[in-house]
């Protein structure tokens, strides 16, 4: 469907054309950088993306989530035409099969089982739209492979069925919605550059695992493996199926001397079952289950260090000189990309408005906010003067290669209108974005930056005006 109106605005819907959200984000960025192009949206036609295009003033025709949406606004018809030509070139390149070498292109394997045939594979990574992830992951399990399911939007009943079959086959399912794993030093999904060491991590939380392991790395401690299990694994429905198996696997690993168990708030009965299982292990376990009786992520990292006999450092913190404690009566706005980091900060703050932009509702048909900052930048621009904005920036492989490039100008604008901006920067010195460079850019724009999300949240509360910072409970 062609919506070219001839005056620099173009709206297209291409039925049944699927590309992954990261690839489409790169196409959008390329088009947006072209001369004369003001706005370029190239994304799957999900309800969220259709709404975004409509809010930007595009006349959006009817479309299905499996359709490709293109919305371009340019200075004139010539610029729009050039953008469309570049769009066609880029989409053609996405659909082109990779060359198999001198013999030319070859059809890729059609199933996980076929891809693993003839190799000593033990693990498969599945990253496809949620409606197709179950079939691909089940294929891996049936082939005797453990599987990391990066895909989200997988129905919970399918997650249970997949994990039950994995238990029968003696393999581990990490996910669905498993954003982070490190297997023998190899990072999968969103993964930081971590030194090797004796700590194994089981995490029903990607960013929670990243926070703890980055703090351990800062203190000189390393990890053996990080086994993500998916954010719903400790729910009442899923019952900790993968968590229990991952704990047992690390207990049998000779390179793991200490286990850290991390989760978003679990179902109480599942938390009890998992804690009981942890007590039976030969390997000691430190827990951060983010319930009112548990430790926050930073406290869990500090407990792990003490259990290893290591000293606990002062975590890097860079308060902005212009911040004035108690001088911001406009309230607290948490704008997060990591769900567990958002939950932790909300518990610690006790009040305020918090949004997890990494939730399924925001990522359906869009790149994760750790890759694409657009929605959070819009939200930061809407935080009023006199308020405090609290947000996370997560570094590492697969994340935005330079988050400060887009965020620092938005921070400077917020500070100029009287908003205090506090950032929890999750990363290590070895991450490809250059942690110190990111800190310099964000502090230079006027943000206060902390390596600990818990310390960032407490600091943000200290800035609130009278009556705005009262604690109502949460993690210690």
Q: How confident is the model at residue 104 (pLDDT cuts 50, 70, 90)?
A: very low
Q: Is 286 helix (H, G, I), strand (E, B) or coil?
A: strand
CA distance 226 to 212: 11
pLDDT of residue 466: 75
Least confident of 192-201, 271-280, 346-355, 362-371: 362-371
> What is the rounded average pLDDT for all residues in the chain?
89
The residue to which tokens 């920067």 are assigned: 425
- The shares of helix, strand and coil residues in the chain, as percent rounded to the nearest 5, are 35, 20, 40
Q: Do domains 9-94 and 112-307 have the same CATH topology?
A: no
CA distance 21 to 362: 12
Q: Are 36 and 79 in contact (CB under 8 A)?
A: yes
pLDDT of residue 101: 45
CA distance 140 to 100: 23
Q: How confident is the model at residue 473 (pLDDT cuts 50, 70, 90)?
A: very low
CATH superfamily of 317-463: Succinyl-CoA synthetase domains (3.40.50.261)
Question: Which residues, including other chains, have CB under 8 Å from residue 314's CB and lie 6 or more apart?
Answer: none
Q: Where are the domains of the chain?
A: 9-94, 112-307, 317-463
For residue 394, the cross-strand partners are 426
First to last CA, the chain: 55
Higher-pLDDT residue of 335, 289: 335
φ and ψ of 53, to 5 deg: -65, -40
For residue 60, the cross-strand partners are none
Contacts 24+ apart (CB under 8 A), 462-467: 462/325, 462/326, 463/323, 463/324, 463/325, 463/326, 463/327, 463/328, 463/388, 463/420, 463/422, 464/326, 464/328, 464/329, 464/331, 464/332, 464/388, 465/326, 465/327, 465/328, 465/329, 465/330, 466/326, 466/329
CATH of range 9-94; options 2.60.40, 1.10.8, 3.30.70, 3.40.91: 3.30.70
Length, in residues, of the chain: 476
Question: Which two three-digit tokens encode residue 69?
Answer: 């949406």
CA distance 56 to 420: 28
Beta strands in 132-172 (DSSP E): 146-149
**Average pLDDT, stretch 399-417?**
96
Question: Which two three-digit tokens encode residue 404?
Answer: 């400060």
Question: Which two three-digit tokens encode residue 132?
Answer: 């197709």
Q: How confident is the model at residue 107 (pLDDT cuts 50, 70, 90)?
A: low
Summarize pLDDT for 130-186 with one digit per residue, the tens. Answer: 778 899 999 999 999 999 998 888 999 999 999 999 999 999 999 998 989 999 889
Least confident of 117-131, 202-216, 283-297, 398-412: 117-131
Least confident of 253-267, 282-296, 321-335: 282-296
CA distance 438 to 306: 29
468 has a pLDDT exceeding 80: no
Question: Which residues, including other chains, have CB under 8 Å from residue 309's CB and lie 6 or more apart?
Answer: none
Least confident of 108-117, 237-246, 264-273: 108-117
> What pTM value is reported for the model?
0.82
Of 149, 52, 127, 71, residue with least CA distance to 362: 52
Question: Which two three-digit tokens encode residue 128?
Answer: 């496809």
Q: How many CB atoms lie within 10 A of CB 105?
A: 11
CA 259 to chain centre: 22
CATH of range 112-307; options 3.40.50.261, 3.50.50.60, 3.40.50.300, 3.40.50.2300: 3.40.50.261
For residue 370, the cross-strand partners are none
């Amino acid at each position: 469907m062609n919506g070219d109106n001839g005056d620099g605005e173009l709206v297209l819907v291409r039925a049944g054309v699927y590309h992954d959200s990261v690839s489409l984000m790169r196409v959008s960025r390329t088009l947006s950088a072209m001369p004369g192009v003001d706005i370029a949206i190239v994304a799957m036609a999900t309800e969220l993306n259709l709404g975004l295009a409509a809010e930007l003033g595009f006349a959006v025709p009817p479309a299905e989530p499996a359709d490709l949406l293109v919305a371009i606004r340019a200075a004139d018809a010539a610029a729009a035409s050039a953008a469309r030509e570049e769009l066609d070139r880029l989409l053609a390149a996405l659909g082109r099969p990779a060359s198999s070498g001198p013999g030319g292109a070859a059809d890729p394997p059609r199933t996980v089982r076929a891809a693993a045939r003839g190799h000593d594979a033990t693990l498969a990574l599945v990253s496809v739209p949620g409606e197709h992830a179950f079939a691909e992951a089940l294929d891996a399990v049936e082939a005797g492979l453990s599987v990391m399911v990066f895909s989200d939007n997988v129905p919970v009943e399918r997650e249970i069925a997949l994990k039950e079959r994995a238990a029968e086959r003696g393999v581990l399912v990490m996910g669905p919605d498993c954003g982070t794993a490190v297997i023998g030093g190899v990072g999968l999904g969103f993964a930081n550059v971590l030194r090797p060491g004796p700590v194994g991590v089981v995490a029903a939380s990607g960013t929670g695992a990243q926070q703890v392991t980055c703090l351990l790395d800062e203190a000189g401690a390393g990890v053996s493996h990080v086994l993500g299990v998916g954010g719903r694994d400790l729910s009442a429905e899923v019952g900790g199926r993968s968590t229990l198996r991952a704990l047992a696997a690390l207990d049998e690993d000779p390179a793991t001397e200490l286990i850290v168990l991390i989760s978003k708030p679990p179902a109480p009965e599942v938390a009890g079952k998992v804690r009981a299982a942890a007590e039976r292990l030969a390997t000691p376990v430190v827990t951060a289950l983010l319930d009112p009786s548990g430790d926050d992520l930073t406290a869990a990292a500090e407990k792990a260090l003490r259990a290893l006999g290591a000293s606990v450092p002062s975590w890097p913190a860079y308060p902005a000189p212009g911040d004035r404690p108690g001088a911001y009566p406009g309230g607290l706005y948490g704008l997060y990309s990591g769900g567990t980091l958002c939950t932790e900060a909300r518990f610690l703050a006790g009040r305020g408005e918090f949004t997890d932009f990494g939730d399924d509702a925001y990522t359906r048909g869009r790149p994760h906010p750790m890759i694409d900052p657009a929605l959070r930048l819009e939200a930061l621009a809407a935080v009023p003067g006199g308020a405090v904005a609290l947000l996370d920036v997560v570094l590492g492989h697969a994340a935005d290669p330079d988050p400060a490039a887009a965020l620092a100008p938005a921070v400077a604008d917020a500070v100029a209108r009287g908003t205090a901006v506090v950032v929890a920067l999750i990363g290590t010195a070895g991450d490809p974005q250059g942690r110190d460079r990111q800190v310099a850019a964000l502090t230079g724009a006027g943000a206060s930056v902390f390596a600990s999300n818990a310390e960032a949240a407490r600091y943000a509360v200290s800035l609130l005006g009278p009556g705005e910072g009262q604690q109502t409970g949460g993690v210690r």
